[in-house]
């Protein structure tokens, strides 16, 4: 038997033979290098573009503009409102306690982040498959506000944590807390606690009491949702939650919390001027640059808007539209109310500002239809005609232009008063031919139209485009007794330092039309709202009303514009796509809205900023018959009633239904 091989002792190597240990060490080193490379790549990804602490952007470099109604009611704010930068010693302890109780109870003991809270939030978000819970400390929120975007991504959250750690290392807790409170958003355009205290409670932040401090702290979660001026019930419920959290955190006792909530009251509601006043506010904002030099200070603009009229206009618009059958295809409306001096007192630019910010009162150019006719008749009055002058309203047979009367109604010879009362197209075209287009255009210019009619016969029937504001303002010129009138809205502008930057001074207004001619035309327009007139639906018992209807081709636009001794209001209805309505005329829903709204505010008194307008209309106790008796200039011959009226200018296609 051969000799047995000696057994190898454990741990000894056989010379010349390899073992598996060296490959294992290589694999371990490779894993370490791979992990290090991954961490380096992750760090590079997270730190790439990470800003320096010295690169914090300002809160909002644009000055804020606060728009006030005539009575001081805030109706809109644009830009950011920022108050004083406060130190920790100027802030009430109650405010600090309220904020820390609901936002970051361990603020003074954490390191800028709370790892367990972050892990818990990540698990919740993974379980739901979306962001449903956050875990940001006050320091992290400050990091986000200072340097980062609000996008919810893992990279941003990691960067937020890194910056929070660096902030905690570099600054004291008091400095971090005040940097947060001086720039955090409290809603309604207010950035920082001092601006929020002034805006919501009309006092500086150092003067806040416990209830007010708790209410402001409650806004931080969702400023617009818990806004005390928009949703006071939600704000009160949130304030109760904050007070209870302060009890749990040991800042106050239960009795103090209960008494504070019981005796606390939210600030007054905003928007006492309606839901659609933003159309007006946007229009005002577009004009601000023309009143003041460039400034970095916040601005407050007091305007002519009357909350009483605005609220009533909106309420009546909703009520009238609720009664319009859907198959009538009326989807939009606009309304403007002016005082006879041009002050814009109410404005509706559309039915829903949230869905469309397009202002149909100031931006919508539409054919005015027969609402332009009074200015043709005013041109005739200036050239020797009277309301009793006669003119043919028969069908026009000669020439290339054959306008027809509404529903193809046939008339013979009528007075000018009858022609305007019944809105007769053929008579109006003949009148324009007799007077001359250039005189009509001159009247339109003096009446304040910014879009002048063309020298065509169709212009007499409203074939040119205008907007509702300029049309209403032209009627305001009539209501003001023929004085030059321009629409205005800005009364004064002040900056945040209290400096008066602009104060409106009533201008000298030229007498652009004679009182006799205006009185005659006013009487004719009163006839329009009498029985038999196209605007009879607008008549108000016991109130002098003068106005005119308008309807364009295929019922695409329907208008009523009219005035009382105190107010001028224009109404338009139609569709944004210029689609036809179904047999809707100006004498229907527009006149009905005008009637209901103007009837509801018939006792309105002009605000103090309006000059007296003694001669704006005939006295309220006079009647249409009285006006007829005062027409003393006699009936003139109608030299425009015959044929051959197309010489010198031609008409383009014009609405047939032009009532």
CATH of the domain at 513: 3.40.710.10
| Candidate from 92-106, 173-187, 287-301 with smallest mean pLDDT | 287-301
Q: Is 103 a catalytic residue?
A: yes
Bridge partner list, 562: 547, 569
Q: Is residue 23 part of a domain?
A: no
Q: Does residue 461 sit in the same domain as residue 541?
A: yes
* pLDDT given at position 26: 64
Which three-class secondary structure state does DSSP give residue 532? Answer: coil
Last residue of a domain, one of 207, 234, 263: 263
For range 588-598, the mean pLDDT: 97
With pLDDT > 90 as the criterion, what percentage of the chain qualifies?
55
- In a domain? residue 49: no
Tell me if 304 is assigned to some domain: no
Residue 202, sorted as left (phi over 0), alpha (psi -120 to 50) or beta, turns out to be left
pLDDT of res. 126? 57
Pair type for strands 81-82 and 190-191: parallel
Q: Are residues 419 and 519 in the same domain?
A: yes
Say whether both 332 and 252 belong to one domain: no
Q: Which residues of 627-655 are buried (b: 16+ CB within 10 A; e: fewer)?
A: beeebeeeebebebbeeebbeeeebeebb
Say if 510 falls within a structural domain.
yes
User: What CATH number corresponds to the domain at position 116?
Assistant: 1.10.3810.10
Q: Each residue of 436-451: pLDDT tens digit? A: 999 999 999 999 999 9
241 shares its domain with 346: no
Question: CA dihedral in degrees (343, 347, 349, 354; nearest 10)?
Answer: 130
Query: Coil, strand, or helix at residue 64?
Result: coil
Least confident of 5-9, 202-206, 236-240: 5-9
286 is catalytic: no
Q: Which of 64, 101, 103, 418 is catalytic?
A: 103
The H-or-E segment that residue 416 falls in is helix 416-421
Contacts of 185 (CB under 8 A, 6+ apart): 191, 223
Is residue 632's pLDDT more than 80?
no
Q: Specify whether 431 is located in the same domain as 504.
A: yes
Overall average pLDDT of the 26-37 stretch: 58
pLDDT, position 230: 76
Give the pLDDT score at 142. 81
Are 494 and 612 contained in the same domain?
yes
CA distance 463 to 455: 11
In a domain? residue 657:
no
CA distance 281 to 301: 10
Give which of 114, 275, 80, 97 is closest to 185, Cα–Cα: 80
173 and 118 in a common domain? yes
For the stretch 223-258, pLDDT in tens is 888 988 778 899 999 999 999 999 999 999 999 999
* Residue 345 φ then ψ, to 5°: -100, -25
Q: In the predicted model, is pLDDT for residue 615 greater than 90?
A: no
- Tell me whether residue 391 is in a domain: yes
Q: Residue 638 pLDDT more than 50?
A: no
Are residues 452 and 582 located together in one domain of the fold? yes
On whether residue 40 sits in a domain, the answer given is no
Least confident residue range of 65-74, 267-276, 446-455, 520-529: 267-276
Q: In a 3-state reduction of DSSP, which class is residue 556?
A: coil
Reported as a pLDDT band with limits 50, 70 and 90, residue 76 is confident
What is the C-alpha separation between 200 and 231, in angstroms, rounded? 13
> 479: domain range?
310-630
Q: Could you tell me whether strands 65-68 and 299-303 are parallel, antiparallel, or unpaired per DSSP bridges?
A: parallel
The count of domains in the chain is 2
pLDDT at residue 473 greater than cutoff 90: yes
Q: Are residues 331 and 206 in the same domain?
A: no
Look at 105-114, 170-179, 522-531, 584-593 and tell me which has the smallest mean pLDDT: 105-114
Average pLDDT in the 579-605 region? 93
Name which of 318, 471, 268, 460 is nearest 380 in CA terms: 460
Of the listed 64, 227, 370, 459, which one is catalytic?
370
Burial group, residue 436, by CB count within 10 angstroms (0-12, 13-18, 19+)? middle
What is the b/e burial string over 548-566, where b = at least 16 CB atoms within 10 angstroms of the residue's CB? Answer: bbbbbbebbbbbbbbbbbb
Backbone φ, ψ for residue 87 (5° rounding): -95, 170
Mean predicted confidence (pLDDT) in 510-521: 96
Task: List, in sequence order, every residue forming a beta bridge with 488; answer none if it has no partner.
Answer: 343
Is the pTM higher than 0.75? The answer reads no
Residues 477, 337 share a domain: yes
> Residue 655's pLDDT is what?
35
Evaluate whether residue 35 is within a structural domain.
Answer: no
d(CA 608, CA 595) in angstroms, rounded, equals 25
Residues 249 and 352 in one domain: no
Residue 135 has pLDDT above 70, yes or no: no
How much is the average pLDDT of 370-397? 95
Through-space distance between the first and last CA atoms of the chain, rounded to whole angstroms: 134
pLDDT at 491 over 60: yes
In this structure, are 422 and 552 located in the same domain? yes
- The answer to whether the Cα torsion of 482, 483, 487, 489 is positive or negative is negative
pLDDT at residue 361, rounded to an integer: 97
Average pLDDT estimate for 379-392: 97
pLDDT by residue (tens digit) across 303-347?
999 999 999 999 999 999 999 999 999 999 999 999 999 999 999
Digit-coded pLDDT (tens) for 274-313: 678 889 999 999 998 888 877 778 899 999 999 999 999 9
For residue 185, what is the DSSP state?
B
């Amino acid at each position: 038997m051969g000799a047995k091989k000696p057994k190898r002792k454990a741990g000894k190597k056989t010379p010349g033979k390899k073992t598996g240990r060296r490959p294992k060490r290589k694999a371990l080193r490779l894993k370490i290098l791979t992990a290090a490379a991954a961490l380096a790549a992750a760090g590079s990804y997270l730190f790439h573009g990470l800003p320096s602490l010295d690169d914090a952007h300002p809160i909002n470099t644009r000055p804020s503009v606060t728009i006030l109604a005539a009575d001081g009611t805030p109706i809109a704010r644009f830009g950011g409102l920022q108050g004083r930068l406060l130190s920790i010693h100027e802030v009430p302890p109650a405010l600090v306690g309220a904020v820390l109780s609901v936002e970051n109870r361990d603020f003074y003991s954490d390191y800028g982040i709370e790892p367990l809270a972050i892990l818990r939030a990540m698990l919740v978000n993974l379980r739901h498959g979306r962001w449903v819970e956050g875990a940001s400390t006050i320091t992290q929120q400050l990091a986000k506000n200072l340097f980062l975007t609000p996008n919810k991504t893992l990279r941003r959250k990691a960067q937020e944590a890194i910056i929070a750690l660096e902030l905690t290392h570099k600054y004291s807790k008091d400095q971090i807390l005040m940097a947060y409170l001086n720039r955090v958003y409290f809603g309604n355009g207010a950035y920082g606690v001092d601006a929020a205290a002034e805006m919501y409670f009309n006092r500086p932040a150092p003067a806040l009491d416990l209830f007010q401090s708790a209410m402001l702290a409650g806004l931080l979660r969702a400023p617009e949702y818990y806004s005390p001026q928009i949703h006071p019930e939600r704000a009160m419920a949130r304030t109760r939650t904050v007070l209870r959290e302060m009890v749990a955190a040991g800042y106050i006792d239960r009795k103090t919390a209960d008494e504070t909530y019981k005796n606390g009251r939210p600030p007054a509601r905003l928007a006492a001027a309606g839901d659609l006043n933003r159309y007006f506010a946007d229009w005002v904002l577009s004009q601000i640059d023309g009143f003041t030099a460039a400034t970095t200070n916040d601005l407050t603009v007091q305007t002519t808007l009357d909350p009483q009229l605005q609220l009533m206009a909106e309420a009546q618009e909703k009520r009238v539209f609720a009664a319009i059958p859907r198959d009538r295809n009326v989807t939009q409306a606009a309304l403007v109310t002016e005082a006879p001096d041009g002050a814009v007192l109410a404005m509706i630019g559309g039915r829903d500002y949230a869905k469309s910010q397009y202002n149909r009162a100031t931006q919508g150019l539409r054919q005015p239809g027969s609402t332009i006719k009074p200015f043709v008749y005013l041109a005739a009055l200036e050239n020797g005609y009277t309301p009793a002058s006669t003119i043919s309203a028969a069908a026009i047979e000669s020439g290339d232009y054959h306008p027809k009367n509404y529903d193809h109604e046939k008339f013979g010879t009528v007075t000018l008063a009858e022609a305007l009362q019944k809105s007769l197209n053929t008579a109006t075209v003949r009148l324009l031919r007799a007077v001359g287009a250039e005189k009509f255009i001159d009247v339109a210019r003096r009446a304040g139209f910014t879009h002048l009619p063309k020298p065509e016969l169709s212009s007499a029937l409203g074939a040119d485009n205008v907007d509702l504001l300029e049309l209403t303002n032209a009627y305001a010129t009539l209501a003001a007794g023929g004085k030059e009138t321009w629409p205005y809205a800005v009364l004064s502008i002040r900056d945040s330092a209290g400096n008066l930057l602009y104060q409106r001074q009533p201008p000298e207004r030229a007498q652009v039309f004679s009182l006799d001619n205006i009185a005659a035309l006013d009487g004719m327009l009163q006839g329009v709202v009498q029985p038999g007139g196209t605007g009879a639906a607008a008549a108000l018992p016991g109130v002098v009303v003068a106005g005119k209807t308008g309807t364009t081709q295929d019922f695409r636009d329907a208008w009523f514009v009219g005035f009382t001794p105190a107010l001028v209001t224009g109404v338009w209805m139609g569709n944004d796509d210029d689609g036809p309505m179904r047999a809707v005329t100006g004498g229907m829903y527009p006149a009905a809205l005008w009637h209901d709204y103007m009837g509801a505010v018939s006792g309105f008194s002009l605000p103090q900023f309006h000059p007296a307008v003694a001669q704006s209309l005939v006295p309220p106790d006079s009647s249409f018959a009285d006006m007829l008796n005062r027409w003393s200039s006699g009936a003139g011959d109608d030299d425009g009633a015959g044929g051959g009226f197309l010489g010198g200018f031609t008409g383009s296609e014009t609405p047939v239904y032009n009532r």
